[in-house]
Amino acid sequence: MKLVLDAMGGDFAPEETVAGAVAYARDTHHTVFLVGDETAIRRELDKQDIAGLDLPIIHAPDAVGMDEQPAMAVRRKKRNPMVVGMKLVNEGHADAFCSVGNTGAVLTAGHMVFRRIRGVHRAVLTVPFPNFSGFHLFGDVGANTDCKPEWLVQWAHMLAIYAKALLDIENPRVAFLANGEETGKGNQLIKTAQVLMAQRNHLNYIGVVEPKEMMAGQADVVITDGFTGNIAVKQSEAVAKFIFQTLRDELMARPRSKVGAALARPAFHAILERLNNKEHGAALLLGLNGLVTVAHGRSKRDSIYYALKTTDRLVEADVLEKTRHKIESLPHFQVPSREKTS
């Protein structure tokens, strides 16, 4: 297998991205193309034991910063690692592309290089999200801020296919995220999406769920717009961090409680690892004619390793071809006359 990594993406590149790629290549013996500034990448590789590893460097000096306007930067910087790396995949030299860089820039580059699968209105960013039962698929988590109801209905079908391929769920339960669990709850976007789903439903659609039902694992696929989804993910991360920080401060405040903290440390670490979700830390940009994953911008080497492992699993599961085949077989996945696939 051959994967492409944007070695300059994220807050800790290239040190952490290169170290994560080395760990992945050592573990799997797969090829990882490192795309970015050749001098900077080689400097990091010189710090590592890479004997026997296949880590070719592809020079792409025009990195897109996390604070840049993504669409403009991608189009202006022709030799940026995202476009250069995705072209390797598009030309058949590699199987998939992974980045921890600017999500908007990855989205723009993906549409430029791969284009959308025919019939798909917009690509959706989806990630396995932890719940009390394990994980469910959650999307959109940031690719599309302002959405149309028909997009959400399409994403429901696309993520159901993904759930079958990745989570091995034969008949995944699909729901929209809303502010109540009764039919008709939600804003106008969610209400209209419910009506459309009822008209052309080929899924195990269970209606709408509130966050508490979502966290209880009552749905295998939860759909919302990218604005709401992105806030939900970030709020969950912030709440988890707040709880653990507060708990640690309280346990360490008194001598007697420190003893309890020491005894409970393995359990706390297990909970933190589950909430951290680094083993499922790469979101999939689903709906393009190429496999693209995006990990958190603050990812360090362990998270980079797991992002590549996730990308690896998606290639092995043939998620892209299964999704494309299913979409093309559904009659309502048609390109509207006024909106051509791009």
The pLDDT tens digits of the residues spanning 31-55 come to 999 999 999 999 999 999 999 999 9
Say if strands 31-36 and 173-177 run parallel, antiparallel, or are unpaired: unpaired
Q: Decide if 250 is inside a domain.
A: yes
**pLDDT: is 36 or 167 the higher one?**
36
The residue whose two tokens read 């991608």 is 74
Domain region containing 222: 127-276
User: How many whole angstroms separate alpha carbon 263 and alpha carbon 74?
Assistant: 51
Instruction: Find the mean pLDDT for residues 228-236.
Output: 92
Same domain, 210 and 242: yes
Instruction: Judge if the upstream peptide bond of residue 140 is cis by omega within 30 degrees of 0.
Output: yes
Residue 252 has pLDDT above 90, yes or no: no
The per-residue pLDDT for 274 is 66
Q: Across the chain, how many H-helices and E-strands are there?
A: 12, 11
Same domain, 7 and 59: yes
Instruction: Judge if the upstream peptide bond of residue 211 is cis by omega within 30 degrees of 0.
Output: no
Instruction: Find the mean pLDDT for residues 207-228.
Output: 96
The per-residue pLDDT for 340 is 46
Instruction: Find the mean pLDDT for residues 239-267.
Output: 82
Q: Decide if 325 is inside a domain.
A: yes
Same domain, 89 and 11: yes
Q: Decide if 282 is inside a domain.
A: no
Give the SS3 label for residue 308: helix
Residue 259 has pLDDT above 90, yes or no: no
Half-sphere exposure at residue 117, Cβ-oriented, CA atoms within 13 angstroms: 24
Same domain, 93 and 220: no
pTM for the model: 0.88
Q: Decide if 185 is inside a domain.
A: yes
Average pLDDT, the chain: 89
The residue whose two tokens read 């990218």 is 226
The per-residue pLDDT for 71 is 81
Q: Decide if 193 is inside a domain.
A: yes
The residue whose two tokens read 């592809």 is 58
Residue of 183, 186, 189, 229 lying closest to 206 (CA atoms): 183
Residue 132 has pLDDT above 80, yes or no: yes
Instruction: Find the mean pLDDT for residues 185-211.
Output: 92
When divided into structural domains, the chain yields a total of 2
The confidence band for 174, taking pLDDT boundaries of 50, 70 and 90, is very high
Q: Decide if 342 is inside a domain.
A: no
In order of 31, 278, 289, 294, the CA distances from 307 in angstroms are: 15, 8, 20, 8
Label each residue of 256-294 as H, E or C. Answer: HHHHHHHHHHHHHHHHHHHHHCHHHCCEEEECECCCEEE
User: How many whole angstroms separate alpha carbon 100 and alpha carbon 298?
Assistant: 8
Residue 105, domain CATH: 3.40.718.10
**pLDDT: is 151 or 237 the higher one?**
151
pLDDT in tens, 14-28: 999 999 999 999 999
